Amino acid sequence: MILDDMTRDELIDLKARIDIQLEKLEAQRKAEALDAARKAAEEYGFSLEELSGGKRPAKASSSKVFRNTLTLTTRRNLDRQSRKPKC
């Protein structure tokens, strides 16, 4: 894929897809970190909730979180694209 050969609309679409994928990867990394923290706490005989002062951390579920989400920047770009007059 050569970026110089892509149209503006194609580049906006690509950026939107990249933003979504980056968000998915970030959620996956957080879930993995939380899982590793739980396992480390269990090795010492504690739950993660006990070590965090009784507060239960939010579940990180990347499959549910990203069902229909777009970043604010992506939404703005898509809105601009739909308002752009067709030539």
How far apart (Å, rounded) are the C-alpha atoms in residues 63 and 77?
24
Q: Which domain holds residue 44?
A: 23-81
Q: Is 6 a domain residue?
A: no
Instruction: Kindly provide the residue ranges of all beta strands, DSSP E only, lying in the chain, ordered along the sequence.
Output: none
For the four alpha carbons of 14, 20, 24 and 25, in that order, the dihedral sign comes to positive
**pLDDT confidence of residue 30:** 96
**pLDDT confidence of residue 35:** 95
Number of domains in the chain: 1
3-class DSSP assignment, residue 54: coil
Q: Determine how many CB atoms are found less than 10 A away from the CB of residue 33.
A: 11
Whether the full predicted model's pTM is greater than 0.95, yes or no, is no
Q: Is 43 a domain residue?
A: yes
Q: Is 14 a domain residue?
A: no
Q: Is 8 a domain residue?
A: no
Each residue's pLDDT tens digit, 55-84 = 655 665 555 555 555 566 666 666 666 666
How far apart (Å, rounded) are the C-alpha atoms in residues 83 and 77?
10
How far apart (Å, rounded) are the C-alpha atoms in residues 43 and 56?
18
Q: Is 86 a domain residue?
A: no
Each residue's pLDDT tens digit, 5-60 = 999 999 999 999 999 999 999 999 999 999 999 999 999 999 988 988 876 556 65
Q: Is 45 a domain residue?
A: yes
